[in-house]
Structures are given as structure tokens and as C-alpha cells.
Amino acid sequence: MQNKQSRGYVWLVGAGPGDFGLITLKGLEAIAQAEVLVYDRLINSNLIDRAPADCEKIYVGKQAANHALPQPQINELLYQKAAAGKRVVRLKGGDPYVFGRGGEEGLYLAERGIPFEEVPGITSSIAGPAYAGIPVTHRECASSFHVFTGNFKDEERGLDFANLARLEGTLIFLMGFANLNYITQGLLAAGKPADTPAAVISQATTPRQRTAVGTLADIEERCAAAKLSSPAITVIGEVVNCRPQLNFFERQQGRGVLVLRDARQSEIFIRKLQARGLTPYCCPVIEIVDRWLTPEIWAAIEGLPKYSWLVFTSPNGVRCFMDNFYSGGGDWRAFGHLKFAVIGRATAQALRERAGFDADFVPQKQVSDALGQGLAERLTPADNVLLPRSAIADNRLLEILSAKCPVTDLKIYDTRFCTDKEEQLREQLAKANIRYVPFTSASTVDGFVQACGGPEAAASLLTENACQTVAIGPVTAGRMRQLGLEPDLQAAEHSLDGVIEVILQDLEGEKND
Ligand code: SAH
């Protein structure tokens, strides 16, 4: 570029769609030697920082209705600076000649004899979809792509929808976010099928990228639910279906984990996730409601002397039983003769912290069958087991233990499903940086499915948002399968730590692919 430095010269440089790395080498070189940098909005600020310290930086960015500097004045500014002998870089988002008015600027300079060149950029119309996992062409479904502006100052000069609807290729709209309704309605009215896949990608290629996916019929609604805003790119066509497999970018940055458990119980999980660099998003779909000193609970507390084993299948059971015992005026010495069995480490820890007792039996595998079988080996017909647990627990453990000795199944807490969460779930998942949806109990599976409005809706919500499901263990995985949700991952250790471990392994594996 040496020879161009002695006199005024203009580079019309495409900055790419947003990601700093998506500028060309030639564009970056031009910026590095600029004396004047004239730039728009939506330009990655790191690029502006690449200009020399003494470079004059002029912002001329436009907002839809609010032109910071009208185009004729931008043209004149470029001309004046170059005519004064400056090396001028005109930095524009995406590619300067794709709806960028770069052509007008070039013509204005050419007419006035100012030497210039255009440095093409990566246009958001291709890179935005790509970063959302959508190839603009695909041998099987789109042999062309068509890029339109969706910004019409004069509706009469709007789009020729009859023509558009006949195209088999992918339809891409820039600047169309405010006119999404006009575009979708126009295409539908012209006979484009309502179930044609559609996606809107907002703030593409930036860390704030978010994508809504749907069909021509519902994409507008999906965008509203996800609260997407401009700048955004609309893509219409079968290629949108590639997204679940190709969505590399949001997936990479997606260290988001949806926490579905009871709000009061989520705290430990949240802290554990954060400690490992994952981002928790909370949407409780179940609520744990303690039972308080019911006649059965009273009877169990008063009858403690007759039991020989106290068995807990969750930290919740420990907490709720001990709270009842304490509030009911219980005396800790009543536990002196008892042995404790717990399902796993977290429950053992809760027993230690809440009551100061060490568990006498913890199965190696943290599942209720292992607890049942391991404990059954230790029981004699003379034993008597008290089993305080959820009112919705299944009967398997009870059956295994009852085969050996008397067992009291004490319903100590209820699990309620939060049915008013659909909107919140949709909104959070549409943020797209939620990558993992762990189910930490069979009841969170039920809660999630109910919140979504049924198994099919739950499954499609997860697929649409390219979420990976994680089962804490085989019982939870079994419940998921019953409801048509195939677990993508399953924890080796059936605990919250195990869930986090398998997520991290998954992220790690992807990096190495
Ligand atoms: N020359 C640019 C387009 C300029 S028109 C290019 O080639 O990309 C401005 C429109 O581009 C916006 O309204 C929006 O539709 C789209 N756009 C540009 N950058 C975008 C981004 N990072 N995310 C989403 N849309 C973007």
C-alpha cells in the first residue's frame, strides 16, 4: 500500500458482520495505515482500535430513522478528506456493496477523480445464517439464495411477492426486522407454504447472537417470544433445518445450563455450575412443599424407638424430616439406637450437616435399586425401617425392602408442578445460549413436560433450541424415555457433580473434534 500513501486515497472496506476475526487481511492493513477512519454503527470496536492512535475517527452511523450524517454529506466528507491528501478508510459493516451504499460512495469519488479501491467484506447475509448453523445453499434443498432488503420507505415499491414465492432458493432479508409481518404475510398470501422453515438471527456473529426458529406462519411470534431485536437477518427455506446439526457457534458459546429444580433447592446446583464455568439459567418447574406434622409424621416421630433403620432417598427428605422432628419438640437422643442408610453422597452430606449423623450405609451406585439391594442384604426380619420421602416416589424401593422386614413409607413432602412456566421456558431457551437441560430427578422431567404443555411440545422445544438433555441417572433417564425425551447425556455418577462432569466432558469432546 506504500505507493498510495503519498496522496489522497480511499479504501472502502468491508468490516465483516461483527466477529472481529471476520475481516480480511487487506481490510485490516488498510485500517492500520489510515489517517482518517469513517465508520458506521455495528462495527466491532476492536477494529476501530486497530487504526493508528493519531488517526481521525469519524462516526457517521445511522439508526433506522435517525441518520447521524446524511449520505450526501458522507460522500462529501470522504471526498474532502481524500482531496486534502489523506489516506481515508471508509469502514462499513459486512460487505460495502451489499445494501451498504458503498456503490454510491465509490461513484461519488470516481466522478471527482479520487483514487479508491473496494475491499470486500464478509456479508452478514451469508455469515449470519452460517453462524446460526444455516448454510444458504444445500444440494438437497436450495440451489440458489436471494438477498433482499426488507426496508421499504415506499410500500408501493415493496417486494414482488408472487415472484419471490416461486423461487426455490433460500430467501434472505436484511433490514427487514421491523417489516417481518409484511414479509411473512406477503409470502403466505402469494402461496408460499405456511410450514416453510424460517429463522431470524439477531446480532449475528457477536457474543450476543440469538436465533429464533419457526415457520413462515409463526416466526414473527417466535421472535416476539424471544424478544429479538434488530439488527437481524431473516432466512426462509428448508436450509433452516440444518441448524440443529450445524449450530456450531451458539453451541460453542453455549455454556448455559437450564436449572429446573425447585427454586429453594437450586442454590447448591447454581453455585456448583458457576464454579465450573457454566452459566445457570433458572426456571423452576417443580416446587417442593413440605408436609408439616401430619398425624403420620407425628406417629413416626413418636414411634422412633421401634425402628432400627432410618432411610433417606434425598437431601430434601433429610431436611424435611429433621425440621419436623425439631419443630415437633423431638429430642435428639431418640435417634441413638438407629442406623442410617442414604441413597448417595449429597444425602449423606445433608444428614451430617442437618443432624450430625454419619450414614451407616451408602450404596456405591447412587440409585434406589442399589440402595434397596444393598440395604436388604443387611436387614433381618427383626428390623423395622422408616422411609421418609417424597409423596410421589415410586414403589420399587418399598417393595425390595418390604420383602425383608416391615417398612413405613412416610410421605414427608409433596412435589408440585409449576404449570405457568411455558412462556418463561420458551423465552429462556430462545436465548439460545442455553445448551444443556439437565434433569436431576424424575419429577423435574414431569414438571418440564407439563410446563411445556405435553411431551411433544417439550421435545420440539428442546430440538428447536438445539439443547442437549442430561439425565442424572437411570431412573430419570427412564422417565424421560417414557415421555419421549431421549437423554443426550447421562451422568456416570448419579449426582449433581456427576451431571456437571458429563457436561464438561461433552464441551471438551467438542473442542477436540
Ligand atoms: N453491508 C451489510 C448490510 C448492511 S444493511 C452486509 O453486507 O452485511 C444492514 C442490515 O444488515 C441490518 O439491518 C441487518 O439486517 C443486517 N446485519 C448486518 N450486520 C448484522 C449482524 N451482525 N447481525 C444481524 N444482522 C446484521
> Which of 105, 203, 233 for mutating ligand 1's site (highest number of atoms within 8 Å of CB)?
233
Indicate the residue type of 398.
Answer: L
Q: What is the value of pTM for the model shown?
A: 0.55
- Quick check: 4 pLDDT over 60? no
445 in any annotated domain: yes
- Region 399-424 average pLDDT: 93
Are β-strands 279-282 and 256-259 bridged in parallel, bridged antiparallel, or unpaired? parallel
C-alpha angle with apex 77: 76 to 78, nearest 5 degrees?
90
The CA 176 to ligand 1 mean position distance, Å, reads: 10
Contact present, 449 and 480 (Cβ < 8 Å): no
Half-sphere exposure (Cβ direction) of 447: Cα atoms closer than 13 Å: 28
**Are 402 and 427 in a shared domain?**
no
Atom of ligand 1 nearest to the CA of 206: 22
485 in any annotated domain: yes
For residue 6, the model assigns a pLDDT of 52
The 10s digit of each residue's pLDDT in 57-108 is 999 986 545 557 889 999 999 999 999 999 999 999 999 999 989 999 999 9
**Are 240 and 167 in a shared domain?**
yes
Counting the structural domains of the chain, the total is 4
**Are 115 and 176 in a shared domain?**
no
| CATH classification at residue 467 | 3.40.50.10090
**Are 238 and 264 in a shared domain?**
no
Q: Is the CB of 130 under 6 A from ligand 1?
A: no
**Are 499 and 403 in a shared domain?**
no
How many whole angstroms separate alpha carbon 365 and alpha carbon 343? Answer: 8
Which domain covers residue 484, as residue numbers?
253-285+418-512
The 10s digit of each residue's pLDDT in 183-206 is 999 999 999 999 999 999 999 988
| CATH classification at residue 41 | 3.40.1010.10
- φ and ψ at 413, to 5 degrees? -150, 155
Three-state secondary structure call for residue 328: coil
For residue 94, the model assigns a pLDDT of 96
The H helix count followed by the E strand count for the chain is 21, 22
- Span between the terminal Cα atoms of the chain, in Å: 39
| CATH classification at residue 191 | 3.30.950.10
Residue 443's closest CA among 476, 490, 472, 488? Answer: 476
Contact present, 226 and 430 (Cβ < 8 Å): yes
The CA 143 to ligand 1 mean position distance, Å, reads: 23
Tell me 85's DSSP state: T
**Are 246 and 347 in a shared domain?**
no
Looking at ligand 1, which residue's alpha carbon is closest to its atom 16? 174
**Are 155 and 93 in a shared domain?**
no
How many whole angstroms separate alpha carbon 319 and alpha carbon 224? Answer: 42
Number of neighbouring beta carbons within 10 Å of residue 478: 14
How many whole angstroms separate alpha carbon 416 and alpha carbon 436? Answer: 23
The 10s digit of each residue's pLDDT in 237-265 is 999 999 999 998 887 666 889 999 887 77
**Are 326 and 443 in a shared domain?**
no
Tell me 249's DSSP state: H
Are β-strands 407-417 and 286-290 bridged in parallel, bridged antiparallel, or unpaired? antiparallel
Atom of ligand 1 nearest to the CA of 201: 24
2 in any annotated domain: no
Three-state secondary structure call for residue 494: coil
**Are 135 and 239 in a shared domain?**
yes
Contacts for 447 with CB less than 8 Å, ≥ 6 apart: 260, 285, 286, 415, 417, 418
**Are 85 and 169 in a shared domain?**
no
Paired residues of 67 in beta bridges: 62
- Quick check: 511 pLDDT over 80? no
Show which of 370, 400, 416 is a domain's final residue: 416
For residue 156, the model assigns a pLDDT of 59
How many whole angstroms separate alpha carbon 198 and alpha carbon 193? Answer: 11
The 10s digit of each residue's pLDDT in 209-219 is 889 999 999 99
The CA 202 to ligand 1 mean position distance, Å, reads: 9
46 in any annotated domain: yes
**Are 131 and 239 in a shared domain?**
yes
Tell me 395's DSSP state: S
Residue with cell 410421605: 411
- Region 398-419 average pLDDT: 95
The 10s digit of each residue's pLDDT in 38-59 is 998 888 777 887 888 899 999 9
**Are 299 and 403 in a shared domain?**
yes
For residue 112, the model assigns a pLDDT of 95
Show which of 231, 250, 269 is a domain's final residue: 250
The 10s digit of each residue's pLDDT in 318-363 is 999 999 999 889 999 999 999 999 999 999 999 999 999 999 999 9
Active site residues: 40, 62, 175
Name the grid cell of 485.
Answer: 425425551
507 in any annotated domain: yes
Confidence of residue 2 (pLDDT cuts 50, 70, 90): very low
Q: Is the CB of 94 under 6 A from ligand 1?
A: yes
Q: Is the CB of 232 under 6 A from ligand 1?
A: yes
C-alpha angle with apex 493: 492 to 496, nearest 5 degrees?
115
Atom of ligand 1 nearest to the CA of 234: 15
The CA 191 to ligand 1 mean position distance, Å, reads: 28
36 in any annotated domain: yes
Name the residue with higher pLDDT: 513 or 322. Answer: 322
- Quick check: 19 pLDDT over 60? yes
For residue 49, the model assigns a pLDDT of 77
The 10s digit of each residue's pLDDT in 136-150 is 999 999 999 999 998
- Region 421-450 average pLDDT: 86
How many whole angstroms separate alpha carbon 75 and alpha carbon 107? Answer: 9
The CA 468 to ligand 1 mean position distance, Å, reads: 30
Show which of 416, 435, 452 is a domain's final residue: 416
The 10s digit of each residue's pLDDT in 302-330 is 999 999 999 999 999 999 999 999 988 99
For residue 5, the model assigns a pLDDT of 47
4 in any annotated domain: no
Share of the chain above pLDDT 90, in %: 72
Confidence of residue 403 (pLDDT cuts 50, 70, 90): very high
| Three-state secondary structure readout of 126-188 | HHHHHHCCCCCCECCCECCEEEEECCCCCHHHCCCHHHHHHCCCEEEEECCHHHHHHHHHHHH
Average of per-residue pLDDT values in the chain: 91
Contact present, 177 and 230 (Cβ < 8 Å): yes
Name the grid cell of 250.
Answer: 451458539
For residue 418, the model assigns a pLDDT of 87
406 in any annotated domain: yes
